[in-house]
């Protein structure tokens, strides 16, 4: 995800507390977060591919000295700055936020239906 999308995502997350009682804003936030979830899923696949490619290149480029799979994976994680795991955590945070907004919308809907 590029920096512009990350800034927009952080804006949504930062202003979420202020709009917890606004169902229209929460619905729009769900759409926005779902879009970012799609982008993050694509980024995860790309980061995983880069990490695996780096691990394979470490295993192949050593020459006579054999490198274990675990060592190659550690070097690949360091080379890619652990971007795969960071993307997974980012996706998990977005999913948790989406689920909490859905629960809040359910509560607001229940409250609206049961208010005389």
pLDDT at 36: 93
Mean pLDDT of 84-90: 94
For residue 64, what pLDDT is reported?
A: 65
Look at residue 65 in the predicted model and tell me its pLDDT: 77
pLDDT in tens, 25-72: 999 999 999 999 999 999 999 999 999 999 998 888 766 677 888 998
Helix-strand-coil percent breakdown of the chain, rounded to 5? 85, 0, 15
Residue 59 to residue 67: CA distance in whole angstroms: 6
Cα dihedral across residues 85, 41, 34, 103: positive or negative:
negative
What are 23's two structure tokens? Answer: 């169902």
Distance of CA 53 to the CA centre of its chain: 21
Question: Mean pLDDT over residues 100-111, rounded?
Answer: 96
pTM given for the model: 0.85
């Amino acid at each position: 995800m590029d920096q512009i999308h990350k800034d927009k995502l952080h804006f949504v997350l930062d202003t979420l507390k202020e709009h917890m009682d606004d169902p229209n804003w929460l619905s729009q936030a769900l759409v926005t977060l779902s879009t970012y979830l799609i982008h993050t899923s694509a980024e995860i696949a790309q980061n995983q591919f880069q990490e695996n490619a780096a691990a394979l290149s470490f295993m192949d480029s050593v020459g006579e000295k054999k490198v274990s799979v675990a060592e190659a994976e550690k070097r690949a994680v360091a080379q890619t700055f652990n971007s795969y795991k960071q993307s997974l955590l980012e996706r998990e945070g977005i999913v948790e936020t989406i689920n909490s907004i859905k629960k809040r919308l359910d509560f607001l809907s229940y409250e609206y239906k049961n208010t005389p």
